[in-house]
Structure 1
């Protein structure tokens, strides 16, 4: 299991979830980019929120879109929610299940 934490910008909603399905389905460039971004990306939640078993994550994404999106109109770079993956768990999973991707991350400077 690869733990991830997601919270809204106003900290009204916060939850932990299993990000492993995202790592199973994502392309190598997306995973390497995630590592470069400090293991933080809203795209993970957006990708998983429609899956069975991720109803609470769906609620968080929906809340951020409905309640916080209007606040971001003045500053389009403002993130309405953030998701952070446990980088050490991600690397351990990648080394076991996708060693080519783990090697790409390890070779790239500053990505881990």
Structure 2
């Protein structure tokens, strides 16, 4: 979305206005899914902050307080939702590609 709006020779870092605009659209889309479409269950209360990384890239932190029946109460429930494993490369090639590209970090 950002790259298609760049002029020849520009990089995304040259256009913080585009970065923030796309981030804001994505953030609003996420909030709609979380609070109106209830993709994780019914949210009773929430708070979030937007921060900027060292190079100026925005990111958000959310705290969600779920209604009683949607609260996770034991480790097994968390394990059903959270995984630290790579998706099966043959079964989910697109997901595998996205995880490797965006979620894998080098050594500290």
TM-score, shorter chain, exceeding 0.5: no
TM-score (norm 2): 0.25
Q: Which has the larger radius of gyration?
A: 2
Structure with greater contact order relative to length (CA < 8 Å, sep ≥ 6): 1
Structure number with the higher helix fraction is: 1
TM-score (normalizing by structure 1)? 0.25
